[in-house]
Structure formats: structure tokens, C-alpha cells
Amino acid sequence: MEQVTDKFLRYVSYDTQSDDSSNLQPSTDKQLVLLNLLVDELKALGVSDANIDRYGYVTATIPSNTDRKTPTVGFLAHVDTSPDMSGENVNPQIISNYDGGDIVLNRELNVRLNVADFPEMKAYKGQTLITTDGTTLLGADDKAGVAEIMWVAQYLQTHPEFKHGTVKIGFTPDEEIGRGVNKFDVEKFGADYAYTFDGGQIGELEFENFNAASARIIVQGRNIHPGYAKNRMLNAILIAMELNALLPPEQRPEHTSDYEGFYHAVKIEGDVERAELQYIIRDHDLNKLEQKKAYLQSCAELLGKKYGENVIRLSMCNQYYNMREKIEPHFHIIDVARKAMEKAGVTPVIKPVRGGTDGARLSYMGLPCPNIFAGGHNFHGKYEFIPVESMEKACEVMLNIIEVQ
């Protein structure tokens, strides 16, 4: 059998970055290269119904090989990587028997994984870490989940003595831009419940996530020659900065944790004539999310009164909701996952997701779908790393879920 590490290293060699400025589905054609490869690999394993639809969704069924009546369980992961950093020409580094100290990712650029910055690294002393080379992200979010699901599919197809019910597999594009399951056909997928393997460090088990909204603010300035600008110029850059300064600094991601929500400025660009700000707004409590949205609206209105009604244009839209409401009526699936982890010698770490997953959207579409660790750390950037042993444990947990249910 091919090891999960080999699958992971192969998949991260494909650039699958999604693009939130695209109106296509998937948002980028390059995602389809890996998605079609996954279909070919599943068919080569004998999974005869593996297919990709016109929206880029890969689905497959591994039929039951037991007379025992069991629910149909699904496993999902997304292939796209974040627009936050390049996923092209990923050059993974493999650190065997990690010594527990700092890791030089790129000597020329002086990029290091420092234990002082990421103390969780110490927990993996003696293990094998896969890191970036300091110039790209790694892609463990969520090609680790993809590799783990593909390894389990391989195991089930090559070990007929392992008795199991019907297993559904799904791979999605565009999760990183909030459109991962916009056109996913839950009824056709046919699972009674499912799990996304899209979490972080080993042990994570998540059935709560942020309620999420996005905001886009256009500032229309008035560019006048600076020598004659008094009482005439409206500098869009400065007005954008003024709006951002009105938002509470303690409610930024770098100052929040656990159940605390935030405003996150993800993009600013422009000049004196015109500037644009983009935010994501998050809170586990839907009422608090609405309060944050209302406050941002009041800030825009305040500056509109100050500078003129056509100077500030704000648009907001909701992206996804907290899945807890939809998971709690089916809480046995959390118990199944917990038992599967414990059987694998993994201590469950149940905590809210400070983000979102395809599973949150799927839960509201009628498919209860909590999230389980894939093993990675420091997603979306050059400091990303993943322990090989965590990926292997994720595979074991998945097999245990199939066996325990």
C-alpha cells in the first residue's frame, strides 16, 4: 500500500489555489487537475462509481461488505488552498526524528520555525515533520485530509477482511473562499451523516464554528493637486484608515480566542481617488455577529455624514452559520468520533472552530457533518507544518469510525 505521506507529498505538488474574485465554479481550472486525478486514482482502486460533476465535486461509494445494518457514513475534504499565500511550486522539507528545537525553513531568506513563536512544536519531538521551504504555504489545509481519505479508500479496497458499511467519499473545491458546497447535492451524495477531515492538530473534534459574514467598503475620494487641495481634496486612503480606526482594536483576530469574535481586515488597496477595504466578520453567537455588522454599518454612515453620502459604499453578506444547532440533535455522531479517537489512543480535544468548514454548510443543508483533525498547524502561510504521525492517526480514526458505528 502507498503510505499516506506519499499521497500527501504528491497532492501538494499541484497548485490548487482558489480565487475569490472569480465567478466560475470551481473558481480556478487548476483545481480540476487534482480533482480529476483523484477520480482516476479511485477508479484504479476499483471504486467504480467515482466521478466528477460539472461543478468540480468528486464523489464515490465504497459499498458495504457486511450483512450488519449500519448507517452510511461520509468523509469529505477540500482540494483548494488559500488565496492568502502562493501554493505554486511547493517544496516540502521532511524533518525526521525532530529534535524539538527551531527549524530553518529557508536560510537565504532567514525564515525559521521558532519554538518560542510556536511552542506546540515541542509536542512532536522525535516525530517526522513536513514543513515548507519558507516561500509558499504547504497545503495541509486540506490536502492532508484528502490524502487521509484516499489512504482509507485504498485500505478498504485492499483489505476485504475489514468489514464495513457503505462509505461515501467527497472532495470539494473552493472551501477556502466560502463557496465549497454551494452546489453540492446532499441527497445524491446519500450519506446519513459525515465528517470533514479538515481540522488542525491531532485530537481536534469540532461541532461548533463561527457565524460568518464578509464586508466590502468602497471609498470614493476626490483627487486634487496637493498644492491646491485645501478644503477640496478627499483622500480615499485616509478615509479608509479612519474607518478602520473606528473598529475596536481588541476585536481583531490577534487579540481574540475561544468564543470571542472579531473584525479582520483582509485586504486594502487604492489611492487618493478610490480605495477599497475588505473584512471578514466572525462570532460564534449569531446575535453578536449581527451587532458587529450593525456597528460597521454605523461607522460607514458616520463617515458618510462627515464626507458626503456618496463617499462610502458598504456591502455585507452572510457566508455560513454555526453548525452546533444542527449537530446537537444528532449528537451520537460526536460520541462515535470520540470513541474512534480513544480507540486509536488519541485524546479528543473538543473545542469550537475559530473558522468554518464545508461541514458547517452541509449541516444546514441536511447532512450533519462535524469536523475532525487532519493534523496540520499554521495553515495559510509559510510556517505551516504537519507531523506524519498525526496523519497516520487520522487514518486510524477514520477506520475506527467505520468500525465503531
Enumerate the active-site residues. 80, 175
> Per residue in 209-248, is it b (16+ CB within 10 Å) or e — as a string?
bbbbbbbebbbbbeeeeeeeeeeebbbbbebbebbbeebe
**Looking only at Cα atoms, what is the longest distance across the chain?**
85
Question: What separation in angstroms does the CA of 158 have from each of 1, 46, 75?
Answer: 8, 10, 18
The residue among 109, 268, 77, 315 whose CA lies nearest residue 175 is 77
The residue among 144, 128, 127, 180 whose CA lies nearest residue 374 is 144
The residue among 371, 404, 397 whose CA lies nearest residue 141 is 371
DSSP string, 209-254: B-EEEEEEEEEE-B---GGG-TTT-B-HHHHHHHHHHHS-GGGSGG
Whole-angstrom Cα distance, residue 318 to residue 125? 42
Say whether 302 sits in a helix, a strand or coil. helix
